[in-house]
Structure 1
Amino acid sequence: MSTHETEPSADQTPKEYWEQHYGERERIWSGRVNANFAAVVADLTPGSALDLGCGEGGDAVWLAQRGWQVTAVDVSDTAIGRATTLAHDHDVLDRIVFEQHDLSDSFPHGTFDLISAQFLHSTVRLARPQILRNAADALTGGGTLVVVDHAEAPPFAKKIPHDHPFPSAEEVLAELDLPAAQWERVRVEKVGRDGADPDGQPFTWWDNIMVLRRRD
């Protein structure tokens, strides 16, 4: 979710909404990897990875540069086009397969050693708990699920409804209801990161980080 997210209309499908969102600017994201994600994944042995909601491809390209074979998914064809260009520009297009999915309706086939869901929020239809359960089911034994969410909306996010839910890390895991005997909680916490508001003033963003490992 972008803090400058487009305001949805009542009759838009998720694909229509995100196409409009990405079409508003030539670039939405920085092209760099999400910092919390990079810190978690940096020491993992490369294998197969699934990037849910890949956006313009910053995380997928970073993974591919480090030896991962990546399946990168988004609902927006515009986002996938930009991500494909980024992968080409960084000479890792052969290590990334891009797929278009509305994850509330379909999910990539196969199993993966790493599955990432970075800021997979939306003010339009998104079956998040089921998507994350599907992700858990698609992990190999010993595989890692990394979910990073906004813990709260910043006060300058004008187009996010005031009642839009931002569940805590524990609430997210409770919704998933994964069997404790089959899952190791590697890291579950709320963390702050330095940033800036639209006026350039220092601002602390708060994120929830959930790292789970499927037992062999």
Structure 2
Amino acid sequence: MTTTAQEFWESFYSERDQVWSGKPNPLLVREAERLTPGSALDIGCAEGGDAVWLAKRGWRVLGVDVSQVALDRALKHAYDAGVEIAVERHDLKVTFPEGLYDLVSAQFLHSPVEEDGERNSILKRASQAVAPGGYLIIGGHAGAPSWSEHQHYYFPTTKDVLDHLGLADNWIVITDEVVERPLVGPDGQEESRKDNVLTVKRLF
């Protein structure tokens, strides 16, 4: 029987009381801390680390995820932090939030139960949700560490992402970079991991 995205991620988050650290993704922080707060859409928001960080900085945030367990944790995280966020559950290859946003964030939108073409379609739809003058920030892994079971998983480059977005000439690229950081494995392995960060701005 084929596992749906919702079934996979509900099971994933239900296995532990907390999966992620609760801290925002460093790539998002680096790219968004220079922006003027407005409306923000965080797709694949998970337990809300990025959404809460944005809300603390004055953004009006809508967090979206396929897992209701994750969304419930995101709301609790926001409550504990003394900020408000809104959440909606979407399987993004089927439905997408309405409206335009000053910032759309898609951080590490990798899924072992979805096809590459589905991710491309989601990111294309994300670009269409950016308001004039707004930004799309996409962070993604550039590869898997040696101990990962996802060694043969396809990790698109920033060029791959840009090619699939097919942005018109009313967009400019702000950041197109590969960032390397140290990483320690479950058995103490010391390696480094490369991540891609792409920030584009819609001019009008």
Residue 183 of structure 1, aligned match among 139, 148, 171: 171
Which residue is 2:35 aligned to? 44
Alignment partners' CA distance in 2, 1:194 and 1:165 = 21
* One-letter amino acid matched to 1:129: N
The separation in 2 between residues aligned to 1:175 and 1:122, in whole angstroms, is 18
Structure number with higher relative contact order (C-alpha < 8 Å, ≥ 6 residues apart): 1
1:210 counterpart letter in structure 2: L
Residues 47-80 of structure 1: CA deviation (Å, up to 9, x unaligned) = 0000000000000000000000000000001101
The one-letter amino acid of 2:100's match is T
Note the residue ranges of structure 1 that are not aligned, 5 or more in a row: 1-9
Alignment of 1:30-109 (within 5 A): 30-93=21-84, 96-109=85-98
Normalization by structure 1: what TM-score?
A: 0.90
TM-score by length of 2: 0.95
Structure 2 gap ranges (5+): none
Larger displacement relative to structure 2 (121-130 or 139-148)? 121-130
Is the Cα–Cα contact under 8 Å of residues 37 and 57 in structure 2 kept in the other structure?
Answer: yes
Q: CA deviation at 1:166?
A: 0.7
- After superposing on structure 2, the runs of 4+ consecutive aligned residues of structure 1 that deviate more than 6 Å are none
**Counterpart AA for 2:192:** T
Q: CA deviation at 1:196?
A: 1.5
Distance 1:82 1:63 in 2: 16
Residue 167 (structure 1) aligned to one of 131, 156, 175:
156
The offset of 1:175, in angstroms, is 1.2
1: CA distance, partners of 2:174 / 2:4: 36
Deviation at 1:122, TM superposition (A): 0.6
Give the letter aligned to residue 138 of structure 2: V
Partner in structure 1 of residue 192 of structure 2: 204
Residue of structure 1 in register with 2:183 after alignment:
195
**Percent identity of equivalent pairs:** 45
Output the amino acid matched with 2:40: A
Are the counterparts in 1 of residues 124 and 164 from structure 2 also a CA contact under 8 Å? Answer: no
Q: Distance in 2 between matches of 1:208 and 1:112?
A: 23
Q: Does 1:213 align with 2:201?
A: yes
Structure 2: distance between partners of 1:28 and 1:209? 23
Where 2:145 maps in the other structure, the secondary structure is: coil
